[in-house]
Amino acid sequence: MTETLDALETRAPATREAALLAALPAQIGHAQQHSAAFGAILAGVDAGAVTSRAALAGLPVTRKSELLERQKAQRASDAFGGFATIGWASQAGARRTRRVFQSPGPIYEPEGEAGDYWRMARAIRAAGFRAGDLVHNSFSYHLTPAGSMMETGALALGCTVFPGGVGNTELQLQAIAELKPAGYIGTPSFLKILVDKAAETGVDIGSVRKALVSGEAFPPSLRDWLRERGIEGYQCYATADLGLIAYETPAREGLVIDEGVVVEIVRPGTGDPVPDGEVGELVITTLNPDYPLIRFGTGDLSAVLPGACPSGRSNTRIKGWLGRADQTTKVRGMFVHPSQVAEVVRRHPALLRARLVVEGEMANDRMTLKVEVADAPAGLAEQVAHSVRDVTKLRAEVELLAPGSLPNDGKVIEDARSYH
């Protein structure tokens, strides 16, 4: 049996890139015509001209806050805020929505009728699951889509699923002992609870030899702890809006990007792609026709990992979750946003990168804008300080640094204040 789900995972990178770029015009045109939200967001865009990454980067980034606002504004007529192209009798969609889920916000997400709608089978197979395995699925089946995301992927792979859901630890342990599933899918913290409780009560859960975990951090210490107890755990990165984005392989070197999405990493507060290796915000364009999100900002930070995956999968790898991109903070009663830092940089072409550091104690804040510059013209620091005040209505010191001086951690605003 091959380790990969299909030949898409091992195709030549140039072949994949050409296929993704060839799919963009049709997907963008579909979104413009059948999604009222993107009809407005992408008004005036020539979909047929979006055939390169540079052209894609010229489109606006849509953030979850905007999606939520559009949903709230259209609750009475369209629960999906005009973003979905499917629905039900009283909705705008002509094709059927199989399920509807609610994430915090609340934000409503559609599940279409495709067999592996969320594309999770790829990650589940990479974690070692195979057709015929019984999977113990401990993601929530209530309101949020996590349980269905994993179940539909496991079923597409040919697995049988026990829908454990969350909680009821003793009953779940009883089911594992009696049904003897091959593996676990759920959060890493709940898996640790199950393993600890089984050891405490003497319940045999030795059939569980593999696990796919998500929804939380999965540190190497916990991975090693599970391995010592006979469980090989792998992680994946997915969201309720986009489905699978990236997944871990047996090589355990970063996360391989899924075949059904176009991933960009942009400087926080902007839609501008950063060089490979630099930390930035993950922006995703999905090729899902039912929920065609174009340049959707996840709010999560990551970076491209150089080189090819030793597992033989040829897609780009990312380093995994490295924090949140929205570093908005309040200074002297005023909100300061990463987009404002980006605006200051835009006003001064000599600036390469910037980082706004907020220090001091609450109510006695001071701001320093640290900027990388290769060749500073006379008076640059004073000019930049004037721009900061103009954009944020706050004063800041400006510190000029050599290129490469700022940390590569994706932070545009660093809150270094004391809160004690």
Highest mean pLDDT among 151-155, 345-349, 351-355: 151-155
Q: Say which CATH topology domain 329-415 has.
A: GMP Synthetase; Chain A, domain 3 (3.30.300)
Question: Which residues have CB under 8 Å from 65's CB, separation 6+?
Answer: none
The Cα 92–Cα 77 span in angstroms is: 8
pLDDT at 211 over 60: yes
Structure-block tokens of residue 312:
């033989």
Kindly report, residue by residue over 28-53, the tens digit of the pLDDT.
999 999 999 999 999 999 999 999 99
Question: pLDDT digit string (tens) for 60-117?
Answer: 999 988 999 999 999 888 999 999 999 988 765 567 899 999 988 899 999 999 999 9
Average pLDDT over residues 372-398: 91
pLDDT per position as a tens digit, 163-187: 999 889 999 999 999 999 999 999 9
Q: What is the pLDDT of residue 1?
A: 40
- Give every CB contact of residue 1 below 8 A, 6+ residues apart in sequence: 130
Domains of the chain: which residue ranges? 329-415
Query: What does the pLDDT look like over 126-166, one tens digit per residue?
Result: 999 999 999 999 999 999 999 999 999 999 999 999 999 98
pLDDT of 183-206, one tens digit each?
Answer: 999 999 999 999 999 999 999 999
Percent of the chain predicted with pLDDT > 90: 78
Q: Which residues contact 39 (CB under 8 A, 6 or more apart)?
A: 31, 32, 33, 82
* Contact between 148 and 232 (Cβ < 8 Å): no
419 pLDDT above the threshold of 60: no
Interatomic CA distance for residues 411 and 408, integer angstroms: 8
The pairing of beta strand 397-401 with beta strand 62-63: unpaired
Which residues does 188 contact at the CB level (< 8 Å), separation at least 6? Answer: 211, 213, 216, 217, 218, 222, 233, 235
